[in-house]
Every structure is written in C-alpha cells, then in structure tokens.
Amino acid sequence: MIRTVVFDFEGTLVDFQWQLAPAQAELREAFAAQGHAVSGNYAQMWNAAADQAVAAGRLHALRAALGPVYDRWDADALTRWSPRPGAAALLQRLAARGVAAAMVSNIGRSALAAGLERCALQRALAPVLSRDDVVHLKPHPEGVRAVLALRGCAPARALFVGDSLADVAAARAAGLRVAIVRGGECDEAAFATAAPDHFVSTLDEVDALLDAPGG
C-alpha cells in the first residue's frame, strides 16, 4: 500500500502560471553572463551550472547571481496561482487514511510558502522541499530521495504526483511510481517517450491509485 504521496506544486496542486518562454529567455542570458551553458530548460541549465559551482566551491555565488531571476518569475506566477479543484479535499482524505503527503517543487521557498498558505495547503504537507532546499532541481531525483529519507519511506511505498516530464524523470530515478495530472506544464503528447504509470484528469482520481496494482 502507498504510505507517502509526494506532490509537485505548480501545475499539480495549483494551476501552471510560470511564463516559460520569457523566463527561460532571461535565464539563458543570465547563465551566459555567468559563463555557464545555456542548453536545456530552466531546470537543466541550473543543474549543469550547479554541478560546476559545487566542484568549484561556488554554489552560494551561483544562488546569489541566478536566484533572483528565478524568484522574480516565481513571484509573477504567485499573483495568479489558484488551487486545482479538489486539492485541499485530496490532502484531507490522505490524512484520514494515514497516508503522508509531502512536496518537492522547483519553485523557490518564498513564493512556494506564500502560495501554499494562500491556498490553505501548507498544514497538510510535510516535508516541503523548494528549489532553495536542494542543489539539483527536478528532473534530478535529489529532492524526491530526500523526502523519502525524511519520511522513512521506501520508494515502493510512495507515489509521485506531478504534471511535467521533469516529474516523471525525477520519480523514475528515485524508484517511485508516478501519476501525471493533465493540463499542467506539459501536454499529454509530450509524454510519448516518457510515459508515467498513470494519467489523471482531476485530483479526485488520485485516491484510486493508492491501491492500484504495483502500489
């Protein structure tokens, strides 16, 4: 039986509001100005730069230089986030079943905390790991593995619920089954070569996955 459900935030428990195209254009300029590669998306650029920064003992400097750019786009999305229908009710049902709910998000700590509080979701999730709490962002599995360690939960007893290819990759690398909520960062066609275990159209469908084969 699933004992822990690990959620993504934006696109999963709230709607997706990050303005990807202009945000990534600004981030490419910012990474290039710092002498870093600019291939891949916002998470892949960060992870490549973080590997170099850690090796050089300059992770703090990287956060100081690039963090404000990410934070600005987080803050912009925060002004528009609304909870997905059924988000609070799902977390309440999980708690009633004795199933822990946790979170790993590529959103920074400030906007994530504000978004969770505004949507009245913060008390039902523990731990909550933001971009500022890890070295690597999803699709790297660092955050997912950290949550499982903190919960004392084996991967086979956990389910990841997200909305993006990065969520599928992070969950798979950490050994978790993964469900994708339609209508988030990535449309369904994007998963043709990286299929999740489940697609759901609404959060109300997640309950049935806790006892699905393999769970």
**pLDDT reported for residue 214:** 55
**pLDDT reported for residue 3:** 96
Whether the Cβ atoms of residue 43 and residue 24 lie closer than 8 Å to each other = no
Note the pTM of the prediction, 2 decimals: 0.96
**pLDDT reported for residue 204:** 96
Along the 215 residues of the chain, how does pLDDT read in single tens digits? 899 999 999 999 999 999 999 999 999 999 999 999 999 999 999 999 999 999 999 999 999 999 999 999 999 999 999 999 999 999 999 999 999 999 999 999 999 999 999 999 999 999 999 999 999 999 999 999 999 999 999 999 999 999 999 999 999 999 999 999 999 999 999 999 999 999 999 999 999 999 876 54
Structure-block tokens of residue 103: 């979170």
C-alpha distance from residue 51 to each of 30, 37, 42, 55, 135 (Å): 17, 12, 15, 6, 8
**pLDDT reported for residue 76:** 98
Structure-block tokens of residue 124: 């039902």
Whether the Cβ atoms of residue 185 and residue 16 lie closer than 8 Å to each other = yes
DSSP of the chain? ---EEEEPSBTTTB-----HHHHHHHHHHHHHHTT----S-HHHHHHHHHHHHHHTT-HHHHHHHHHHHHHHHHHHHHTT--BPTTHHHHHHHHHHTT-EEEEE-SS-HHHHHHHHHHTT-GGG--SEE-GGG-SS-TTSSHHHHHHHHHHT--GGGEEEEESSHHHHHHHHHHT-EEEEETTSSS-GGGGTTS--SEEESSGGGHHHHTTSTT-
145: left (phi over 0), alpha (psi -120 to 50) or beta: alpha
- How far is the C-alpha of 181 from the C-alpha of 188, rounded, in Å? 9
